[in-house]
Structure 1
Amino acid sequence: MFLYLLLPSLCLAQRFLQADETCYGVILDCGSSSTKTTIYSWPCRTGKVYPLTDIYQESQQLKTSPGISTKYPDEISTYLAPIFDFINSKVPVAQKQYTPIFMGATAGMRLLDINKQNTLIDEIRKQLSKSGYLFVTDSWARVISGQDEATYLWLGVEYLLGKTDGSLITIDLGGASTQIAFKVDYMQYESDIVTLTLPDEDINLYAISYLGYGNDQARDAVLAKSISGTQVISPCYHQGYTGTWTYQKVQYSLSGSGSVEQCQALIQSFINSQCRTVGDELCGINSIDQPSLPTSYSIYAVSGVATIANFLQLSTFKLPQLLSQAQAFCQMSWSQVQANSTYSANQYVGTNFFLSLYVHQLLSVGYNIPDTMQICRINFRDINAPLAINSQTPTWAMAAVQYQLAQIDCDLDSSVCQGSILHLIAFFCLMVFY
């Protein structure tokens, strides 16, 4: 299967502009555990923008929890209200009706049955269409594929780093899924190859997403193996930890036994990577073959991988370093963790035992990263800030806008080229050819 991302121009709004006027776009990234709302701006163009460093994140994201996929249709209006308040506070009133608003739902929505997906998406479309922002087609609010996520993240990191040779690997770990993407020179894994048409070349990108292997889904699956009645004693929590855990609408009392070896065994069983290496095929997550990683490439990790690397005070690291730091943390008792002011200040410290070992197993066993390769987490500006390169946050949403603008020649928007009328562009479509 080949995915061609075709991004045609669409005349959305018209008004006379000054040459230095700013255009805006709003993106709602609806993940499994939260919705991240980001406002982008760019100087209104008179020509193709490439490389795409002219698009800017206007402010810190608004993160709304829990994920929208946990809501019922009659709750969507209330859920979106503070999001619209945030957008209204950032976008000038005069620009509101000309500002496109787009929503993409990711793995959390993909986990739902198709009927619930459609019902929720229909209600979201209804709310966006009456928001006062520019929402001209239902395809502006949709469930995006995991392959889309992997592809757009790779593009975003490449653009922000200023790389021109495509020599990078991106890895993302969300709550419900994980993705990897890197450039390949062959079409052996045809169903997982995305062909990108960029201004200077066509790129074949190996991009794959594993639904159900995100941090939250993986932790639930591993904990479920330790259920005994209404209790769970898990080796993936610190010795002395106590709490509760809700799984499939049932609440369990949870306590930790703190065994690195037992937790690793449970995680490896979950990842289920048991097949042998054959040629340059490597057994990956769920025993699915993947291409060998180009060892000359740089690896950039975001989201859950970067979160735990930051927690363990790792920036650029190799897997043995990650494992050593993870083991040192996991061997602490819960009382020792709570006595450590740095660790105890982290709101997710209770689940970081699991995350630290899961990330190591995911990278080593799932993605077959050699111990000799370095992994770069995309730096935090501070522990609570989004991932950033030069103050920009590389996400699928940002990269989708970047890639979209890279595809569009200014002469397709004649009034923009003339410098007199703005045609805001924020529409993209996906065509799948077999």
Structure 2
Amino acid sequence: MGLSRKEQVFLALLGASGVSGLTALILLLVEATSVLLPTDIKFGIVFDAGSSHTSLFLYQWPANKENGTGVVSQALACQVEGPGISSYTSNPAQAGESLQGCLEEALVLIPEAQHRRTPTFLGATAGMRLLSQKNSSQARDIFAAVTQVLGRSPVDFWGAELLAGQDEGAFGWITVNYGLETLVKYSFTGEWIRPPEETLVGALDMGGASTQITFVPGGPILDKSTQADFRLYGSDYSVYTHSYLCFGRDQILSRLLVGLVQSRPAALLRHPCYLSGYQTTLALAPLYESPCVHTTPPLSLSQNLTVEGTGNPGACVSAIRELFNFSSCQGQEDCAFDGVYQPPLRGQFYVEASYPGQDRWLRDYCASGLYILTLLHEGYGFSEETWPSLEFRKQAGGVDIGWTLGYMLNLTGMIPADAPAQWWAVNHGVWVAKVVFMVLALVAVLGAASVQLFWLQD
């Protein structure tokens, strides 16, 4: 007697389930391939405490790094409200409190689980250098207040320190060249490569209290005190760098005014760099408080000084040149001014283009422009032939020009890299087939059970 239809269907479903299950089992035995999953993103925070303002920069980079250095990108730039921290001598606690707004803004962008692993550093530049010379106890109080605020925040606080002028220039050079992809570049073949050394550019920076020049010279650096060395992305770099304290924009304008007062003591000062017809009254004593001013106010003058503009560019340049000591370099080939060693200029240069402040600086635009021309031409040695090699930029490659990114790139070399997580995986097609056969086996088994339980008896 033959099998009933119920028995035939039951046996067919059992057979299908067996074949599907056996096929899925065979596919399970296919060798898996080891794959490396992407690493986590790491974060770092740097405060740039300049003479006139403070900025926070948040950076991020893949934790596995590239040849010992992180591939860093800028995630946030936040300008702290208020003046530079050196201005809080009468209320040091406020210097620390002023940083909290930008810090909270940065922490929102960092996963909470990584807050305690985020290195945070504050570097103070020329404004605090001058304050440290003028009143070291006031400078210590401000650093203590800043340290207290950042130290109790949920980050890995690395300290608040006075950044050396040489470091400010050298880190700024790193920032510019990294942004322009002259240090490392991702090629079309999917590899990180080092561009030719000829593509490296120099960096010029004009701050409120100091100015820096940094570049790779064409020959050896004879004065080793002006040399900075780095190892980035597996390559070594030696750059010439020098920072001129008291030659920043704010200090030059103050020194220029003091120089005019000293040369022509009178209740009414005629200023050749101010527009003709412009007049203002200034307090005299604050002009002599800076460590950059080495003279005392004339006893014959009152506390206030009336200043009237004459709009005389020639006289303005002559007054500006008095702030330089060009004669100290006479007879010396590799010398800039004030007796400072400088090798011959080489390559293209980038200059930071932005400066804080708006209308309050309007009266000083003429003096600032003529000062920069004098510094570049007679100080650093740029000529009509090399003017085209100068570019004024606020950013390079999407990152703000300044020392902070260069500092963070250098810092990543000290932060251990996280190894990529290792997992085992099979070919996508094999994985899909395995799932399909497992589903078919399950459906066949359920079908066979349904036939056995619910099919009506013949």
Q: What corresponds to 2:66 in structure 1? A: 48
Distance 2:380 2:81 in 1: 31
For the pair 1:257 / 2:257, whether they are aligned, the reply is no
Tell me which moved more, 93-102 or 24-33: 93-102
1:417 counterpart residue number: 419
Moved more, 112-121 or 355-364: 112-121
1:160 to partner: Cα distance? 1.4
- Which secondary structure state, in structure 2, belongs to the residue aligned with residue 57 of structure 1? strand
1:69 corresponds to which letter in structure 2?
Answer: S
- Which residues of structure 1 form unaligned runs of 5+? 1-17, 309-344, 380-386, 421-434
* Distance 1:232-1:404 versus aligned 2 partners, 3 A rule: same
Residues 22-171 of structure 1: pairs in structure 2 closer than 5 A: 22-43=41-62, 45-48=63-66, 54-72=71-89, 73-112=92-131, 113=133, 114-135=136-157, 137=158, 140-163=159-182, 164=195, 165=197, 167-171=200-204
What letter is aligned with 1:298?
Q
How far 1:183 sits from its partner (Å)?
1.3
Aligned to 1:371: 384
The DSSP-based 3-state class of the residue aligned with 2:59 is strand
Matched, 1:352 2:365: yes
Shift in CA distance, 352/307, structure 1 to aligned 2, threshold 3 Å: farther
Asked if the contact 2:67–2:233 (Cα under 8 Å) also holds between the matched residues in 1, the reply is: no
Deviation by residue 1:403-428 (Cα, 9 ceiling, x = unmatched)? 232x35x8x44xx11549xxxxxxxx
Aligned partner of 2:396 in structure 1 is 389
CA shift at 1:207, angstroms? 0.7
Match for 2:55: what amino acid? K
TM-score (norm 1): 0.72
Which residue number in structure 2 is paired with residue 340 of structure 1?
none
Other-structure match for 1:237: 274
The one-letter amino acid of 2:173's match is: W
Instruction: Give the percent of matched residue pairs that are identical in Structure 1 and Structure 2.
Output: 25
Contact 2:78–2:102 (8 Å) recurs in 1: no
Deviation at 1:276, TM superposition (A): 4.9
| 1:395-414 matched pairs, under 5 angstroms | 395-405=402-412, 407-408=413-414, 412-413=416-417
For residues 29-51 of structure 1, give each alpha carbon's deviation from its aligned partner in whole angstroms, at most 9, with x where no partner exists: 000000011111223x2243678
Structure 1: distance between partners of 2:235 and 2:59: 26
SS, match of residue 156 in structure 2: coil
> Which of 326, 332, 338 is the matching residue for 1:273?
326
Q: 1:100 to 1:51 in 2, by over 3 A?
A: closer
Structure 2 distance, partners of 1:109, 1:236, is 28
Q: What displacement does 1:277 show?
A: 5.0
| Distance in 2, Cα, partners of 1:360 & 1:202 | 33
Q: Secondary structure at the match of 1:359?
A: helix
Equivalent position amino acid for 1:301 in 2: V
Tell me which structure has the larger Cα radius of gyration.
2
Within 2, Cα distance between the matches of 1:51 and 1:88?
24
Assess, with a 3 A threshold, how the Cα gap between structure 1 residues 390 and 204 changes in structure 2: closer, same or farther: closer
Kindly state the Cα deviation for residue 248 of structure 1 after the two structures are TM-superposed: 4.1
Q: SS of the residue aligned with 2:97?
A: helix
Partners in 2 of 1:57 and 1:199 — Cα distance? 18
Equivalent residue for 2:348? 298
* Structure 2 portions without partners, runs of 5+: 1-36, 183-194, 287-302, 423-458
Report how far residue 82 of structure 1 moved: 2.7
Contact 1:32–1:67 (Cα < 8 Å) also in 2: yes
After the TM superposition, which residues 326-365 of structure 1 pair with which residues of structure 2 at under 5 Å, given as runs? 348-365=361-378
- Are the equivalent residues in 2 in contact too, given 1:47–1:417 (CA < 8 A)? no
> How many residues were matched structurally?
346
CA RMSD of aligned residues (A): 2.8
Normalised to the residue count of structure 2, the TM-score between the two structures is 0.69
